[in-house]
Homo-oligomer: A and B are copies of this chain.
């Protein structure tokens, strides 16, 4: 039995010593303020509106859902970032209503959210980024949202990180925030962020949102590159149920308040900091997946390319048969082999290996069923590791994170009615 070295934190890279967790979430970095309040979209007095603002217009970047049914706020953000060349002053976000599949009225509502926030802050509307999450196909209540935006901007402050994380939740079971202090050769800077889950927990409910900030000084083009690169192995390497949403957005603002200027030399350390925050938030999204009882790390190695490895890892992570086997603590390597074989990339079963929790269960076409009890013991925990060697001799690898599939998922999404 071999125990390959791996784990959830394995992809952050080689800058771990320079990175330390700190409090403060999305406004841990200097140069940012936020506000969160209840404006009347959600029932009761639940927080449903937040504004995250920089002290001045700063570098900004965004990545968005690849779904062709994109919600109006997603289209607006793309347009604003293109027009400004990657500059923004603030993010305005509401929960409880996704403003998706709402037609021309929805486009106007998203534009109005940006315009009202901009008017209150005294900046051009194109410097405001907009996000919405919640029910699809319902119009935003602008009569409540507009006064809420004015109150939020008037109340912007520095002690509001945790409320801001709560204000973007829909039916997430816990808020998701993380921040790190990064020590670079030119001084320290901070990266922080918040996220809400891909938990489509109420019928019609969608969206993964994440907002990051940093007080490093980063040119927009480099910030855009760092966001794309850090998301690849974090936000883009998780899956709860394979259903991408109409509203998924990850936005980042860089205030430069520390004066630490990121150039080619410091790029790797910025990337490491953004990855650390993004990975923690992404794993929290999976941990909070609907009905989830286990975090599952799927590492595929010995692939002909990184893309091949990612594709197999994603196929395994989305396999209902694998996810239900994990839920039932069944060391069912046959389902893992079958999922690997149908991913559409090079796979040599005669040279392939499957480990569960470091326990070798299948090697070169032959099962190691005597090891099943050890693997079953691992599967009874809440942090499950699956590793597959594709046997191609290619040496490339990738990791994807998912959760198990429980009867509770079906109950939440099928039996719990609107």
Beta-carbon nearest neighbor of A349 in chain B: B69
Residues of B within 8 A of A246 (CB): 334, 337-338, 341
Q: Which of B66, B103, B135, B413 contacts A342 (CB 8 A)?
A: B66
Beta-carbon nearest neighbor of A333 in chain B: B137
Residues of B within 8 A of A101 (CB): 334, 337, 349, 362, 365-367
Residues of B within 8 A of A411 (CB): 407
Contact A69 B347 (CB under 8 A): yes
CA distance A408 to B97 in the complex (A): 32
CA distance A128 to B51 in the complex (A): 71
CA distance A245 to B341 in the complex (A): 9
Contact A338 B206 (CB under 8 A): yes
CA distance A319 to B346 in the complex (A): 26
Residues of B within 8 A of A313 (CB): none
CA distance A321 to B245 in the complex (A): 11
Contact B320 A243 (CB under 8 A): yes
Known: A204-B334, A342-B66, A411-B407. A328 touches B241 (CB 8 A): no
Q: Is A4 an interface residue (CB 8 A)?
A: no
Q: Is A339 an interface residue (CB 8 A)?
A: yes
Q: Which of B242, B321, B328, B417 contacts A330 (CB 8 A)?
A: B417
Contact A414 B328 (CB under 8 A): yes
- Near B by CB (< 8 A), chain A positions 123-168 give 135-137
Known: A246-B341, A410-B409. A366 touches B103 (CB 8 A): yes
CA distance A418 to B100 in the complex (A): 44
Known: A341-B69, A341-B246. A241 touches B320 (CB 8 A): yes
Contact B241 A338 (CB under 8 A): no
Known: A67-B338, A101-B362, A104-B365. 12 other contacts (CB 8 A): A67-B342, A68-B347, A100-B334, A200-B321, A203-B330, A204-B332, A241-B321, A242-B318, A243-B335, A243-B338, A244-B341, A328-B416
User: Can you offer 19 A-B residue contacts whose CB atoms are under 8 A?
Assistant: A67-B338, A68-B340, A69-B338, A101-B334, A101-B349, A103-B365, A106-B365, A137-B334, A137-B367, A137-B369, A203-B325, A203-B328, A203-B335, A204-B335, A206-B334, A241-B321, A330-B414, A404-B414, A407-B415
